[in-house]
Amino acid sequence: MRGILYPLHVGMLGLGVVGGGVYRILTERADHVAARMDRPVRLVSILVRNPSKPRSVSVEPGLLTDDPRKVLDDPSIAVVIEALGGEYPAVDYLRRALEHGKCVITANKEVMAKHGPELLALAAQNGVDIAFEASVGGGIPLIGPFRQDLAPNRILGIQAILNGTTNYILTRMSEDGSSFADALQEAQRLGYAEPDPTNDVDGIDAAYKLAILSTLAFQAPVRPEDIYTEGIRHLAAKDLRYAQEMGYRLKLLCVARDGAEGVQARVHPALLSRQHPLAQVDGVFNAVLVRGDLVGDVLFYGRGAGAEPTGSAMVADLIALGQGLTNGGGPLSPVHLSEARPLVPMDAVQSRYYLRMEVDDRPGAVAQIARILGNAGISIASVMQKEVGSAAGSAEMVIMTHPAAEGVMRKAKRGMAALSVVREIGGFLRVE
C-alpha cells in the first residue's frame, strides 16, 4: 500500500503565453500529471509584472504576486518554473532559486544560451537540476534526447530549422512570391512575428537555440558569440524563385559540426536540395537533423513554439524532476562540459555558392567573371542567364560554384563587384 503522497510545491515566474499554457495543463490535467508523477502538484505563487492585469487564464485569487521573494525565498517551494523571458532579471532569479536548493525549469533560450554552462554548474553544486526542454524547439523533444538517448554517441553534426517565424516568412516568399516586407507583415498579422521582429529575422533567436544544442551535442560550451549569424532581411523573392526552379529550397539553416579542426557553428540562409530532409519543413514548423556516429541520422520535427507545445515540454520536465525528487534521486542526467573547443572561423568553412548578378549584356562579360573565379581556384558548376536585367543593356545571371572556402569566395566576390561589366551582385547564398 502506498503512503500519503505529499504535493510537490511549485512556484512560477511569468504567466504570459508560455506560463499560461503551463498553468492550464497543471490545472486542467491535474489528475493526469499527478498520476504520471506519483504525487500531485500544488502551485504556491506566480510572479507577474502586474497582478491586476486581465489574463486569458482564470487564476485563484492570492496566487499572483509582483514580489519575487514569494517564489524564490519560500522554503516550501521545491521547483521553480521560469517563463519570464529576457536575460535580466530572469538569470538572477534562476541563480537565486538554484542557490536556495530549488530545481528550475526554464523556457528561456537567451538565458540558457548565454549562461547555461554556469547555471548547470551551479545546479550541480547545489545538488539540484535545471531542466530546459522548452528552450529549444517548443514541444519537440530535443534536450532530453541530447542529455540521455544520444549519450553513447559522438555527435558529428546538427542541421536545423529552429525559428518558426523566419521559416513561415520564407515559405510565403517561396510559395506566393511575396517580398520579405509583405511576408513579415503577414506573419505579424497572424501573431507569428513580434512587433519588433529583430531577434527572429536577424537570426539571433536561432543562434541562441543552436548554442544550447551544440553545447549539449559537443559537451563543451558554444556561446552565441561563437556562432556566425546572418538573417533573412536581405533576401529577394526572385532568389527563392530561382532556387525553386533549380531544385532547391531556401531556409534559414542552423549548422554545427565537430571535426578535427574544431567546432563550426553558423546560422544563415542556405539553399537545400529538394531531397534534403529539411527542405520540406514549411510554415512555422521546426526540425532538427542530428548525425551521431552510432545512430546515424535522426530527425526531430514539430511545432517550435506556442502555449501548448511549449507548456507540454515544461510540464514533462516537471514530471521528470518530480519523480526524481519523490524517489530521493538527485539531478536527472548530469551535463559534464569540457573546456571550450577551438572554433573553425567562418572564412575557413567550405561551401558551394549561388551568385546572382546583373552584368553588361555584351561579349566577354562572363569570361571576365570566370577569370576572377578561376584565379581564386573556384570552379563554376553552372551559369544561367535568367532574364534581361532591370536596366537597359544589362542581363541577369546566376552562377553556381563548386565548394570553396568562404574567405576565398568573399575575396573573389569583391573582385567581381569591382569589374566594370558587373553592375550589381544582388544574391550571394551558400548551398548546403
Interface ranges with ligand NAP (CB under 6 A): 14-19, 47-50, 53, 83-85, 89, 107-109, 134, 138, 305-306, 310
Distance of alpha carbon 72 from alpha carbon 123, whole angstroms: 15
Whose grid coordinates read 519523480?
A: 323
Residues in CB range of 38: below 8 A, 6 or more apart:
5, 322, 323, 326
162 vs 210: CA distance, rounded Å: 8
Rg value, the chain, Cα: 25
Cβ at position 52, least distance to ligand NAP in Å: 9
Which CB, 50 or 327, lies closer to ligand NAP? 50
CA distance 349 to 227: 12
Residue corresponding to grid cell 500500500: 1
Which candidate, 362, 421, 397, 373, places its Cα nearest to that of 238?
397
Torsion 31-33-35-39 (CA) sign? negative
Residues making up the chain, counted from first to last: 432
Helix (H) / strand (E) containing 160: strand 155-161
CA distance 412 to 269: 20
- Residue 117's Cβ-side half-sphere holds a number of Cα atoms within 13 Å equal to 17
Distance CA 327, CA 38 (A): 10
Closest separation in Å from C-beta 312 to ligand NAP: 11
Q: Which is nearer to ligand NAP, 102 or 430 (CB)?
A: 102
CB of 297 to ligand NAP, least distance (A): 25
Nearer residue to ligand NAP within complex by CB, 53 or 336: 53
The Cα–Cα gap between 262 and 337 comes to 16
Encoded amino acid at 271, one letter: L
Q: Which residue of this chain has its Cβ atom nearest to ligand NAP in the complex?
A: 16
DSSP string of 151-215, one letter each residue: TTSPEEEEEEE--HHHHHHHHHHHHH---HHHHHHHHHHTTSS-SS-HHHHTTHHHHHHHHHHHH
For the record, the C-alpha cell of 73 comes out as 525565498
Catalytic residues: 209
CA neighbor of 102 nearest in space, from 131, 73, 118, 80: 80
Which residue, 74 or 361, has its beta carbon nearer to ligand NAP? 74
Is 37 exposed, middle or buried (CB count within 10 Å of its CB: 0-12, 13-18, 19+)?
Answer: buried
What is the smallest separation between the CB atom of 254 and ligand NAP, expressed in angstroms? 16
| Rounded Cα–Cα distance for residues 235 and 231 (Å) | 9
Asked if 106 and 132 touch (Cβ cutoff 8 Å), the reply is yes
Nearer residue to ligand NAP within complex by CB, 53 or 189: 53
